[in-house]
Chains A and B, each alone.
Chain A
C-alpha cells in the first residue's frame, strides 16, 4: 500500500489489485475517520477527501486493514436481463462459445460493484470469472438506458442514455439510477449483483 499526495484536501491510497481495493474500501467505510467527506474507490486506488488535517488522515489510512472476503459480504440484488444485446453475437465469437453460453456464464457469476464512475450510478461490476472483453473499436454515440454491457473484466448497466464503447449483451428495466429515489443509485461499491435471465424479449 502506498499513500500518495492529492492536494490540500485529499490523499490517494494505491493498492495491489482490485480485490485489495474492495477490502480496503469495505474496512474504511465501516469505520470512516472523522472529517472524511468522500471515499472514492477505483481499479487500483481509493481517494479519500477530508475537511480535516492530512497528517491525521494519513495515519488513519495507514492503520486500515483490508476486510477479507469482501466480495461475499455485501447485500445482494437481482437484476432481470433480457439478453438481446446488439453485441451478444460478437461477444460469443470473442469467447469462442455460443450466445447461450455467454448468457449462462453472465448469470452464473456473482458480480460485485467494485466502484462507480463515468456517470452517476454507473457501477463497474467484477466477478471471480475470467472476463476479458475488448471495448468496441468505435464507441456508440447513443447507448440506451438499461443496456447491460461488458468491457475488460467488468460488466455494467448504463443508468441513462449516453455514448458508450462497451459491448451490449442485453437490457434491464431495473432503474439503475433514479434521482427521485433514496438511495438514488442501485449499485454502490461493495454491493453484490446477480443477473437473472428474463428471456429474449
Chain B
C-alpha cells in the first residue's frame, strides 16, 4: 500500500475534501477545504478524481516523508522551500518541508491517488467544530494514499495569483437581519477598517473593530446559516463563517460575504486589515 508519513504537522494540518454538504438538517456541518479553488487545483494538477482528499496546512511547517514514490502538488498560500502550483515527484525516502507562507494562511498538498482514510458521512474532511472525520495530523501518523486516479494533465505550471497580503476588500450583501442594526451600524460595518483576530479558525474569521449599533435589543431564535454569513455576537464585532461553521446560529447575521470572495476569507491572517464593501 502506498503511503506517506507526517513528521511534523506545523501549527495545524488537517485532511480535507469537498465536505459533507447536504446533511445540515441533521446538524452536520459542511466542513471541507476552507479555500476551495486551490484545493480543486491541487487535485487537478496530480490527475486526481474530483473530491479526492488532500492536506490543508495552516501557516506552513508541515514536514512529510514519502514512503514510496509520490506525485504531489502544492497550492494556496505560497510556502517557501517547495514547488508551487505544479506537479512534482517525491522519491521514496524524500522529505517535503513547507516553510512559512509568504502571503495567505492555508496551503493545500494533494497527492496523486488522494489521501485514502475511511470517509465519515461521505467525506474525509476533519471538522474541528463537530469532531467528525479524522483527527488533525500528528507527528508519526502514516496516511494511506489511494489508487483511484485519472490521467495526468498536460500542465507544467498553473498560472494562479497568490493570496493577497496587506488590506483585503470583501464584497458583502445585506443579510437576513440587516434590520436588527441601525443605519449607523450598517455604515460603520462598511466604513471601518477591521483587523483579523488571532481567535480565527476554520469555524470563522473574527474581526476586531468598533462594535456595531443594534436597532433591536431582543434575542434571535437560532436559525440556519450558510458559509459567508457575517454574524454579530453581543461583542458587536463580526464573525465570518467558514467551512466548519455550525449549521445554526443564535446571533443576527447583518450581511453575507459574496461567494466569489469567500475563498479570500480563508487566506486572511491574524492582524491583516480587512474592509467590507457593498
Q: Which residues of A contact B (CB under 8 A)?
A: 4-10, 12, 14, 37-47, 49, 115-123, 179, 183-185, 188-189
Contacts and interface: CB of A to CB of B under 8 A. Distances in A.
A39 to B, nearest CB: 6
Contact of A7 (B21, B30, B121, B259): B259
B166 interface: no
B223 A116 contact: no
Contacts of A121: 26-28
Interface of B: 21-30, 120-121, 130, 132, 173-177, 221-229, 246-248, 253, 256-260
A36 B222 CA distance: 21
B224 A44 contact: no
12 contacts: A7-B229, A7-B259, A12-B176, A14-B176, A41-B25, A42-B221, A42-B224, A43-B222, A45-B224, A119-B130, A120-B130, A185-B27
A11 to B, nearest CB: 9
A37 B227 CA distance: 13
Given A121-B26, A188-B26, A43 B175 contact: no
Contacts of A4: 175-177
Given A7-B259, A8-B258, A37-B21, A117 B173 contact: no
Contacts of A115: 25, 248
Contact of A6 (B221, B226, B248): B226
A152 to B, nearest CB: 10
B15 to A, nearest CB: 16
A123 to B, nearest CB: 8
Given A38-B22, A43-B223, A6 B27 contact: no
A40 B21 CA distance: 11
B130 A9 contact: no
A96 B220 CA distance: 30
Contacts of A49: 21, 24, 226
Given A40-B24, A119-B130, 13 more contacts: A7-B173, A7-B175, A7-B259, A12-B224, A40-B248, A41-B224, A42-B248, A47-B223, A47-B225, A119-B27, A120-B29, A185-B26, A185-B27
A7 B256 CA distance: 5
Contact of B248 (A117, A120, A123, A188): A117
Contacts of A47: 24, 223-226
B27 A8 contact: no
B176 A6 contact: yes
A189 B223 contact: no
A179 B121 contact: yes
Contact of A38 (B25, B132, B221, B258): B25
B212 to A, nearest CB: 18
Contacts of B29: 120
Choose among A7, A45, A123, A184 the residue with the greatest number of B CB atoms under 10 Å from its CB.
A7
Nearest to A40: B224
A188 B22 CA distance: 13
